[in-house]
């Protein structure tokens, strides 16, 4: 039997995502009510610019006083889509204190202060849901947190930033340089006016911290995620990957150590074989592989950003939280019982693709091979090509076997000191094999 008294929802933020959340709440009100077991009512919308016309939203609901809105006491659920650390953090904790559960899309805040927010939610007996914080419309948080709760997840590998994937895809398919591809992404609305959070890997690193924490039942701070962006990826890197039968993607990789005693989380560009399913993820789409002990390999794919896809994830959480509210219960909170340490990047076992500019003369390859041997790094393949140029230079490309990242980094530094090495043209990790 459906309850007639509505559940009241406060919306913090009414930009691209917030306005779409409000629209769907209005147009799908009957369906949402049927699925929840009670109607939901948009009780207030906190914004920065109240004078802006917001189609479909009653101006009487709009306020600039977000604090007063979450302090009302009659709000059942607060949806936070304003982003950033403050005032979002304070508003969320205030909402818990005044009886509301929270649905958030704020990856930066959750990556930085997730444990404290979970503790606040538990202290007040409220829910904290955040499916939209990781991969837009792709259901990923709930499968990890609930569907795979009885399994042991060993690895999460994926593309979790649509902007960088669009840029790298354009560089691969059209031969464009980084700047040209970024300009196109900006013109199409995939990149912000300031794209730093995306192209330098901050966005993906925040998502990796959240995913690693959920997958491995431990706390992973944003500062413990190794981060590299795509600004140094060149057209030559893309071409070199093609010659290897690979493409370049910005990957978020979260792994449990083979002995199960530690975890790692990292974000960086990597070459992956064209035969790998992630290689076919095009434009601004996201895709994530989850490897679990019993379930095996699972792949989640779909649009990772945008108003409608992100709103879909927000509203899925809203339905779940409202159902919990009616049942006078809460969903799963933080699970960090394993307390596994996070290993530094230097201990991660990886493969390298190294492109060197070397003197075109006998003995160079032997010198380079000696450096690798002295560093304890095994070579998988090597290719040398003369350029027929007046400077007498050649290109030497080395692909290594797997070795600790610190050993590979040390190898590169040793190579730079060789008189016959004129420069290191590019260095990139190789994954997916």
Q: Is 192 helix (H, G, I), strand (E, B) or coil?
A: coil
Nearest to 385 by CA among 372, 393, 394, 374: 394
Q: Are 140 and 288 in contact (CB under 8 A)?
A: yes
> How far is it, in rounded angstroms, from Cα 208 to Cα 222?
8
Q: What count of Cα atoms within 13 Å lies in the side-chain half-sphere of residue 403? A: 19
> How far is it, in rounded angstroms, from Cα 303 to Cα 161?
10
Tally: H helices and E strands in the chain: 15, 17
What is the pLDDT, as a whole number, of residue 137?
A: 86
> How far is it, in rounded angstroms, from Cα 166 to Cα 178?
11
Q: Is the dihedral of CA 197, 199, 202, 203 positive or negative?
A: positive
pLDDT tens per residue across span 366-382: 999 999 999 999 999 99
In what order do the strands lie in the sheet containing 7-12?
62-63, 40-46, 7-12, 77-80, 101-104, 128-129
Peptide bond into 87 cis (omega under 30): yes
Q: Is 305 helix (H, G, I), strand (E, B) or coil?
A: coil
Nearest to 351 by CA among 413, 241, 236, 431: 431
pLDDT tens per residue across span 312-321: 999 999 999 9
Tokens of 191: 């990149």
Nearest to 246 by CA among 166, 353, 157: 353
- Contacts of 408-412 with CB under 8 Å at 24 or more apart are 408/350, 408/352, 408/375, 408/377, 409/346, 410/375, 411/352, 411/371, 411/372, 411/375, 411/377, 412/352, 412/354
Full pLDDT tens readout for the chain, 433 residues: 677 899 999 999 999 999 999 999 999 999 999 999 999 999 999 999 888 888 889 999 999 999 999 999 999 999 999 999 999 999 999 999 999 999 999 999 999 999 999 999 999 999 999 999 998 889 999 999 999 999 999 999 999 999 999 999 999 999 999 999 999 999 988 888 999 999 999 999 999 999 999 999 999 999 999 999 999 999 989 999 998 899 999 999 999 999 999 999 999 999 999 999 999 999 999 999 999 999 999 999 998 878 899 999 999 999 999 999 999 999 999 999 999 999 999 999 999 999 999 998 889 999 999 999 999 999 999 988 776 666 688 889 999 999 999 999 999 999 999 999 999 888 999 998 6
What is the pLDDT, as a whole number, of residue 255?
A: 97
So which residues are the catalytic ones?
207
Tokens of 159: 């593309």
Tokens of 57: 């939203």
What is the pLDDT, as a whole number, of residue 388?
A: 66
Q: Are 399 and 430 in contact (CB under 8 A)?
A: yes
Nearest to 127 by CA among 118, 135, 136, 137: 118
What is the pLDDT, as a whole number, of residue 135?
A: 87
Nearest to 271 by CA among 238, 227, 300: 238
What is the pLDDT, as a whole number, of residue 392?
A: 81
Tokens of 343: 């290993």
What is the pLDDT, as a whole number, of residue 384?
A: 85
How many Cβ atoms sit within 10 Å of the Cβ of residue 322? Answer: 25
> How far is it, in rounded angstroms, from Cα 418 to Cα 433?
31
What is the pLDDT, as a whole number, of residue 56?
A: 84
Tokens of 195: 């794209």
Secondary structure (DSSP) of 155-176 = EEEEE--HHHHHHHHHHHHH--
> How far is it, in rounded angstroms, from Cα 78 to Cα 98?
11
Tokens of 131: 């499916």
Q: Are 19 and 85 in contact (CB under 8 A)?
A: no
> How far is it, in rounded angstroms, from Cα 119 to Cα 99?
15
How many Cβ atoms sit within 10 Å of the Cβ of residue 329? Answer: 10
* pTM (2 d.p.): 0.94
């Amino acid at each position: 039997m459906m309850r007639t008294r509505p559940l009241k929802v406060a919306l913090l933020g009414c930009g691209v995502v917030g306005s779409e959340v409000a629209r769907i709440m209005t147009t799908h009100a009957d369906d949402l009510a049927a699925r929840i077991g009670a109607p939901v009512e948009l009780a207030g919308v906190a914004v920065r610019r109240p004078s802006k016309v917001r189609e479909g939203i009653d101006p009487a609901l709009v306020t600039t006083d977000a604090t007063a809105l979450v302090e009302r006491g009659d709000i059942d659920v607060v949806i936070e889509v304003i982003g950033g650390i403050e005032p979002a953090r304070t508003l969320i904790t205030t909402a818990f204190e005044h009886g509301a559960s929270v649905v958030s899309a704020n990856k930066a805040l959750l990556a930085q202060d997730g444990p404290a927010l979970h503790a606040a939610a538990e202290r007040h007996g409220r829910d904290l849901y955040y499916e939209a914080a990781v991969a837009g419309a792709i259901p990923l948080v709930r499968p990890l947190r609930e569907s795979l709760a009885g399994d042991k997840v060993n690895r999460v590998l994926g593309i979790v930033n649509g902007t960088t994937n669009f840029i790298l895809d354009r560089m691969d398919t059209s031969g464009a340089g980084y700047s040209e591809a970024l300009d196109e992404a900006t013109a199409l609305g995939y990149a912000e006016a300031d794209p730093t959070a995306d192209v330098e890997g901050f966005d993906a690193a925040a998502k990796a911290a959240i995913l690693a924490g959920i997958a491995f039942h431990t706390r992973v701070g944003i500062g413990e995620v190794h981060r590299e962006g795509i600004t140094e990826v060149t057209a030559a890197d893309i071409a070199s990957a093609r010659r290897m039968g690979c493409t370049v993607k910005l990957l978020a990789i979260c792994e449990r150590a083979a002995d199960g005693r530690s975890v790692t989380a990292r974000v960086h560009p990597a070459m992956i074989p064209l035969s790998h399913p992630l290689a076919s993820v095009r434009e601004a789409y996201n895709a994530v592989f989850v490897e679990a002990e019993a379930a095996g390999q699972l792949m989640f794919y779909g649009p990772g950003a945008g108003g409608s896809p992100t709103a879909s994830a927000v509203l899925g959480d809203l339905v779940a939280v409202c159902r919990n509210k009616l049942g006078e219960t809460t969903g799963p909170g933080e699970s960090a019982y394993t307390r596994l340490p996070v290993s530094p990047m230097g201990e991660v076992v990886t493969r390298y693709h190294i492109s060197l500019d070397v003197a075109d003369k006998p003995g160079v390859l032997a010198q380079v091979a000696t450096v690798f041997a002295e560093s304890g790094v095994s070579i998988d393949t090597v290719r040398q090509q003369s350029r027929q140029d007046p400077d007498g230079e050649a290109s030497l490309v080395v692909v290594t076997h797997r070795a600790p990242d610190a050993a590979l980094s040390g190898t590169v530094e040793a190579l730079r000191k060789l008189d016959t090495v004129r420069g290191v043209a590019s260095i990139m990790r190789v994954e997916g094999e």
